[in-house]
Chains A and B, each alone.
Chain A
Amino acid sequence: MSKNAQHWEKTRGLLFITLAIWAVFSMGIFLFGAQMNEVTGPFGYPLTYWFTCQGSLAIFVILIFWFSNRQEKIDEEFGFSEKGDD
């Protein structure tokens, strides 16, 4: 397999993992919104309520930074990374 094809395969793998986490916290958990809200979540808020106003939002922020670091590692591995600028 060529270098580009290997790079793309790893990139696609990372995409699927990221989108799976995204789907869980943007849609999946809200399938059980009513049941989950009976549980007390962080800081004492009802759990579903907490996810809608803080939890899912914060997870997206962390997820994107995590994703861009992982992608950066993949790019470096194949020598596709750019230097210097941030």
Chain B
Amino acid sequence: MIKGNFIDNLPKIYGIYTGGFIAFIIIMAIGENLGMTKDAIGICFVGFTIFIYAAIGWLSRTAQASNYYVAGRQVPTVFNGMATAADWMSGASFVAMAGGIYFKGYGYMALLVGWTGGYVLVATLLAPYLRKFGCYTVPDFIGTRYGGNGARLMAVIVLTVASFTYVTAQITATGRIASVALNLEFELAVYVGLASILLCSMLGGMRGVTWTQVAQYIVLIIAYLLPVFWISNNIGAGFFPHFMLADEVARIGELEQMAGLGTDAYKNSAADMAALPEWKKLAGITKAHSEVNASPWQFISLALAMMMGTASLPHVMMRYFTTPSVKAARKSVGWSVFFIFLLYSSAPMLATLSKLALIDPELSTGIIGKSIAEVQALDWYQNWNQAKLMVVQDMGQKDGILQLNELFMNGDAVVLATPEIAGLPYVISGLVAAGGLAAAMSTADGLILAIANAISHDVYYKMIDPKAETAKRLIVARVLLVVFGVAGATIAALQLTGILGAVIWAFDFAMSGLFWPLVLGVWWKRANKEGAIAGMLLGLLSGTAYLVYMESGGTAILGLTSATFGILGSTVSLIAMVVVSLATSAPNSATQKMVDDCRVPSGASVISGQK
């Protein structure tokens, strides 16, 4: 069926794959009509997609170092864009983002701006130059540019701290979805999830991860967009929600005002709130949907922290090492943000649709204004109440009628429950589970690979055993992959997510340690080894110290919170790096030549000229 070179046939292969996946959704829909149970549909969706990813992982197996570390540097721009988007959008983006917007509104939307705007920094400051450098990992760049094992090791440490903070949350998400869809205990499901994650990356390394991430992007974007469009049509909000929800946004504002949002009467008493079940992350609507509810600095500092963090996260940066050229690396960043934009611009639309469907009494799905007993008798309410994601409770005067301030949800319910609330068939819920799983798995794969590659390449090969043969290096890389995967899963199984689930911290850790050493490595020739080590060390330490200070109840300095501690860390890092660099001698002429070379897009990679 497929003739010739694999790369040339990519559009055809993924075209067939997309068609096959849509056909699978249709078969499941027919199955549902013929009486397939919900459990069976869930198992089919999760099982079928994991099987496909594992098959791609198997077909991409390799014994070559350049395939294992950088997918042979032949990934075309558009496909690398898709893979980066899947790498980037985590289980949290998929499941929790719309919920965050639903409850927190404007203040939370700084994340949308930050998590896309960061790619402008990636495209202009870093990706093309690091691609020209020709390194296998991010610490490889730091180690070669600044020289010496000290800088290299420090970069590995920052990378591991940031990525490991992030990966545990992803394995937890994978486990949670697998446990619901496959009806397993969570502690067991975490390891099932891990096994599927490792199937994609162990045999083929970056090559395997690249081609599964493209497949995962296709699943997750279909799983996100299809329900958004369908719900919008079902509640009569318009066939293309992105351009047509202005009236709905205004209507939510009206309803909020009618309910007295923001007034004292709207606030529930502490005694009433204490009567709520103690489920995780249960929240009511307390912020206006489309009003500006954060100070400029709150918004800008969060956006800035996420943007600089984006440009410092190694699992994203290493995706641009896989393109065929410098030019392709630049363009590929554009495609990445385009594919991310498709999902991120839909999240606020989903939040709007979900909120309106629930709170507008004029819609058949609306529950506000109905009697509480009536709402409690609804099928979907009982399902999501049992899943501990939703509760209605009479408060204040206890009039038996549901008011806006008496509806409480876990943010995840916005993505998970809205299809059912809006009357979509169960097959959509199965699809959403498959999408969430794809999002969590693809990010987990990228992160574990980033950690294992840095330790196998930079610590083992470059520092411990430089004469190791390729076969031995790849065995070490794979053993480390399993070790870090199991470590992540073990921590995930302990369910410490309250502490470790903080995805945002990963961005702050990364920018505290890595942003300036990476950027100045390209843009400031005078930056030297001593400066870089000081920058990484003091940046990471000061950022971490501030986080500990904030988490132990400290008052915020300059409005920086535990979500934006990276701004402090990276400022300390910049100052330390500049001061120490200037106080010590300039880098030698070979290093300066290396920087000059990496600024010229054409020609052989900088590293290949080094040995």
Contacts and interface: CB of A to CB of B under 8 A. Distances in A.
B119 A64 contact: yes
B602 A44 contact: no
Contacts of A22: 117, 120-121, 124
Contact of B303 (A7, A26, A43, A86): A26
Q: What range describes how many residues of B lie at the interface? A: 35 or more
A26 B307 contact: yes
Interface of A: 4, 7-8, 11, 15, 18-19, 22, 25-27, 30-34, 37, 43-46, 48-49, 51-54, 56-58, 60-61, 63-65, 67-68, 71-72, 75, 79-82, 85-86
A60 B337 contact: yes
Contacts of B304: 26-27
A68 to B, nearest CB: 4
Contacts of A63: 120
B106 A33 contact: yes
A57 B345 contact: yes
A27 B303 CA distance: 8
B245 to A, nearest CB: 8
Contact of B348 (A11, A19, A53): A53
A75 B116 contact: no
16 contacts: A19-B120, A30-B299, A43-B243, A44-B246, A45-B290, A49-B290, A52-B348, A54-B345, A57-B345, A64-B330, A64-B337, A67-B330, A68-B327, A68-B334, A75-B601, A80-B602
Given A68-B331, A85-B324, A85-B328, A27 B300 contact: yes
Contact of A80 (B250, B331, B337, B601): B601
A33 B300 CA distance: 10
B242 interface: yes
A60 B124 contact: no
A16 to B, nearest CB: 10
Contacts of B106: 33, 48-49, 52
A8 B129 CA distance: 12
A30 B112 contact: no
A24 to B, nearest CB: 11
B247 interface: yes
Contacts of A48: 106, 292
Interface of B: 76-77, 106, 109-110, 112-114, 116-117, 119-121, 123-125, 128, 242-247, 249-250, 290-292, 294, 296, 299-300, 303-304, 307, 324-328, 330-331, 333-334, 337-338, 341, 344-345, 347-349, 596, 599-602
Contact of B341 (A27, A49, A61): A61
A59 to B, nearest CB: 9
Contacts of A34: 292
A84 B109 CA distance: 40
Given A4-B596, A81-B327, A86-B328, A33 B123 contact: no
Q: Across chains A and B, which 6 residue pairs bring their CB atoms closest together, nearest first?
A: A44-B246, A53-B348, A26-B117, A68-B330, A52-B109, A64-B334
A7 B244 CA distance: 46
A5 to B, nearest CB: 9
A20 B375 CA distance: 52
Contact of B116 (A27, A49, A57, A71): A57
Given A31-B296, A44-B250, A86-B331, 20 more contacts: A4-B599, A30-B300, A43-B242, A43-B244, A45-B290, A46-B290, A52-B112, A56-B116, A56-B117, A57-B344, A60-B116, A60-B341, A61-B334, A64-B333, A65-B334, A67-B123, A68-B333, A80-B600, A81-B601, A82-B327
B226 to A, nearest CB: 19
A19 B106 CA distance: 24
A80 B121 CA distance: 22
B602 A19 contact: no
Contact of B330 (A31, A33, A71, A79): A71
B434 to A, nearest CB: 25
Contacts of A71: 128, 330
B116 A53 contact: no
Nearest to A32: B296
A57 B290 CA distance: 17
Contacts of A11: 599
Given A7-B600, A43-B246, A15 B116 contact: no
